[in-house]
Every structure is written in C-alpha cells, then in structure tokens.
Structure 1
Amino acid sequence: MFLGIDIGNTNIVYGIFSGGEWLPQIRVETSLHKNASDYERHLRSEFLEQDIKKDQIQQVVISSVVPGITNTIEEMVHLFLGVQPFLLKPKNIRQLQLGIQNPSEIGSDLVANALAAVHKFKQACIVVDFGTALTFTVINDKQKILGVSIAPGIKTAMKALSSNTAQLPEIPLVLPDSAIGKNTVHAIQAGILVGYVGMVEHMIKEIKKEMPTDTKIIATGGLSSVLKPLAILFDEIDLHLTLKGLKIYGENYPLY
C-alpha cells in the first residue's frame, strides 16, 4: 500500500492507494498545537475503522505547505508506521522545469498537481485547485511550470466576510438559482459563489490566451464540485490529483 499525506493550511489529507484504487480519504484539521502522538491516535483510529493494516503501508510521501508541522507529521509516520517518509521537494523533480523567479516559493502541492496532470495528459495543462486558496497552475507542452495565479478560496472568502459580522449565520456552500439575493444567506451565496463562477471562467479564458489551443483544464480540491456551472470547462475533475502526484513522485523520484 502507498500512503500520500497532503499537509494543507486547513486540513491534512491522507490518501491510501491499495489494490489499484484509492481508498476513501482521511482528513484531520491542521493544527500547530497537536503533537505527533495526537496525530498518531487519530490515524490509528481511522485505520481501525477502515480495517487498514498499518504493516501493509510500504511507502509514504509527504507534501507540506505548513513548515511548522512537517516535522511533527514525519515523526508521527515513524512512530505509527515505522516507515521513512519521502518529502516532496520541487527542486528534485527532474521531469518538471520550474519557470518561475523563486522556485523555492511554489507550494509542493501545486507541483504534485502539475506532475500528475502532465503524467496523464502529456501536454499543456491548467490545474485549478479549489482549496484554502484558489490556484491556477499553468504547465506548457514542454512540461514546464510557467507560473501560478492565486486567489482566496471559497471558504476563505466566506470566513473573511463573516469574521467581522456578529449576526451572520452559517452559510451553506450551495450555489443559488438567482444572482440576486433575497435574504442574507442568499445574498452571500450569490456574491461569493456566483462571483467565483465568473472569476474562474475569466481566469481560464485569460490564461488560455497565452497557451496552445489544445491545453487541458483539470480541476481538483475538495470544493471543485460546488460550482457546477464550471464543470463544462474542465476536461477532468480529479479529487485525488495531488495524491496521485505524490504517488508518481514516490515511484520515480525517491530521496535517499
């Protein structure tokens, strides 16, 4: 079995590949206040619930955009699985060129996305990741990451709006039928969710002006299915894209 660990600003996602398929993802909130034992207890409980035998995990690859927690998760892997994890580092990926000014600044999750996209399609790609941030990673037909565009993610935008509004109710992530809000919840859904549809459409349109006509558009991230009108823009929606990139990295670019 392969275990990919995607450490994001909001959640840590564990993905296990077994028997030719991905098992249901395991998620836990990212917290700098937890230690390795805390994360170990959570993962142990999830393994028991899903009847996963820890001795079957043969390889672990980690992507982290939260440096303050990386060592904690590496320690947890040692503690629970007794496995030496690989840490994805963009500079070690020979297949992808990094055409950006400061390669050390690009998130390893975005590089994993790009690696999985070009590995499958072998042509120019735009990867739209609906996570804590909404990101557009652009790869040309020479397998070179040209750059990234970043906007606040949907939940991030909603949180920013509600943090200074004491009486604002919890807003369901449901795209409304009308762009004209009739109450507070509807108004915010319209402003943010309908607004994000327009933003994503426009961003893809503008990026494609600088790309070949046969560029593939791939969506990933936990909220990629919320904005249903965007589905026709995507050649593929793959919730496991980052994890697939970690698996490819582990198979081809191990760190010794």
Structure 2
Amino acid sequence: MLLAIDAGNTNVVFAVWDGAAWRGRWRIATVPDRTADEYAVWLVQLMAWDGLVPADIDAAAIACVVPNALYNLRRLCRDRFGVEAMVTRSDLDWGFAIRTDNPREVGADRLVNALAARVRYPCPLAVIDFGTATTFDVVDAAGDYIGGVIAPGINLSLDALHRAAAALPRISIGRPQAVVGRSTVPAMQSGVYWGYVGLIEGIARRIEAELDQKVTVIATGGLAPLFMDGTTAIHHLDPDLTLDGLVLLAERNMKATA
C-alpha cells in the first residue's frame, strides 16, 4: 500500500491507498519542527483504528511545500515504515512539460493537482485550490503546465482585515444571505465571499481570453464547495485531487524510486 503525504502550510494530510481505494486519511496541523517520532505516535494509532499497521505500507510519496517539515516526514517513512519516500520535484516523470521560467519553484501541490486534473478532465483547464493561498494552475490544450495565479487565501484575508482594522471583529467565512450587509459582520462576510467569487470569475475569464479558448475549471481544497455554490465559473468539484495526483505520480515513477 502507498502512504501519501500532502504537507501544506496549514495542515499535513496522510492517506493510505491500497491500489483501488483510499483506506484512510488523517489530518494534523503543520508544525515545521514536529519530529518523526511525534508523527509516528499519532499516525500509527489512527491507522490501527482503521485496521492498518506499518507493515502494510510498501511505498510512500510526499508533496511538501514546507521545506523545514520535509526532513522529518522522510525520516518517518524511513524509520517507521521502512520505505524511502518519493518526494515530488520538477525533474520527475510527470507525463507533461512544465513550461514555466523556473520549474523548480512551482509548488509540489500545484503540479500534482495539474497531473490529476489533466487525466480526468478535458484540456485546457484551470485548477483552483482553496488553501492557505488561493491558487489557479493552468494546463494548456496540449496538456502542458504553463503556470498560474497565486492570491491570498480566504482565511489570510480575514485575519488581515481583523488585524489591520481595530473596529472590525474576527469573523468566519460563509455565504451571506444578501450582498448588501445591514450590519458589520454580514457586510464583512459579503465583502470576503462575493469578493472571492468576483476574483474567481474575473481570473477564469482572463485565462480564457489569454488562451483564446474555453477552459475547464476544477475546484479543490476545503472551501471549494462553499464557493462552487456561488458561481457558475467552476465546472467540477474534486476534493481528492491532490492525493489522487500523488498516487498517479508514484505509479509513473515507482520503478525509478525503487
């Protein structure tokens, strides 16, 4: 079985793929200096609740955008599961060209999203990932990765609004009942929610204009369902895109990794 690890800026997601289905997935807050032993104590116990033991794992793949966390995640795989993890990087066999100025600087999560999306959906396409940052990643009609857009994530925007404006409270994100808020909190929620809907629609429209083609838009990430309900610019919702992309990448590169 494959242990897939998606280490983002906010959370690290662990999941086990048995070759046909996900057997379990578990999430923990990203702490860059968390040790391999700390991961193991938490993860092995959760795996046991789902009927899995470390000996079930015969391969591992890591997509990590937090460099300081990578060392201990690799040690976890090596010391506790007895496997050398495949770490996503631009020089692996992706099955497509990475046509950016510096392929090495493209986030691992963005590339695995593009890999999974181009297998499932017609090109050209754009993947919107609602994470710590809101990213748009574009695959052209030939199936090559050509770059994208990075905007502040929704929660970052909420934190900035609260910290910079002393009179404004900290709020949670939600779809407001009306665009025009009749008190402070609904007005803030409307600004954030409909502001991001406008960002989604505007950037998607500009991507299509730049490519001079209709583009398939796929949303992933925790807040993707909330925003898909507010716009027709998103065509597909795919919450497992990153993990599924890791599986596809591992399958393409497993012999080289071994």
Q: Kindly state the Cα deviation for residue 82 of structure 1 after the two structures are TM-superposed.
A: 1.6
* C-alpha distance after superposition, 1:19-73 (max 9, x if no partner): 6222453111111232111111121232133332222222211011111110111
- Counterpart check, 1:51 vs 2:51: yes
Give the TM-score taking structure 2 as reference length.
0.91
Aligned residue-pair number: 256
Question: 2:223 aligns to what?
Answer: 223
Distance 1:228 1:214, change over 3 A: closer
- Counterpart check, 1:103 vs 2:103: yes
Distance 1:143 1:70, change over 3 A: same
Question: 1:25 aligns to what?
Answer: 25
Q: Report % sequence identity.
A: 32
Q: Answer with 148-157 or 233-242: which moved more.
A: 233-242
Question: 1:6 aligns to what?
Answer: 6
Q: Distance in 1 between matches of 2:54 and 2:230?
A: 39
Corresponding letter in the other structure for 2:18: S
Contact 1:4–1:60 at 8 Å: present in 2 too?
yes
Q: Distance in 2 between matches of 1:217 and 1:133?
A: 17
Mapping of residues 83-102 of structure 1, within 5 Å? 83-102=83-102
> What secondary structure, in the 3-state scheme, does the structure 1 residue paired with 2:17 have?
strand
Which consecutive unaligned segments of at least 5 residues does structure 2 have?
none
Distance 1:164 1:251, change over 3 A: same
Q: Distance in 2 between matches of 1:52 and 1:150?
A: 37
Q: Answer with 26-35 or 244-253: which moved more.
A: 26-35
Mapping of residues 39-188 of structure 1, within 5 Å? 39-121=39-121, 123-164=123-164, 169-188=169-188
Distance 1:19 1:92, change over 3 A: closer
Distance 1:94 1:27, change over 3 A: closer
Q: Answer with 52-61 or 198-207: which moved more.
A: 52-61
> What secondary structure, in the 3-state scheme, does the structure 1 residue paired with 2:229 have?
helix
Contact 1:61–1:88 at 8 Å: present in 2 too?
yes
Contact 1:201–1:230 at 8 Å: present in 2 too?
no
| CA RMSD of superposed structures (Å) | 2.0
Contact 1:173–1:226 at 8 Å: present in 2 too?
no
* C-alpha distance after superposition, 1:110-134 (max 9, x if no partner): 0001111112235221111111111
Distance 1:101 1:76, change over 3 A: same
Q: Distance in 2 between matches of 1:167 and 1:36?
A: 43
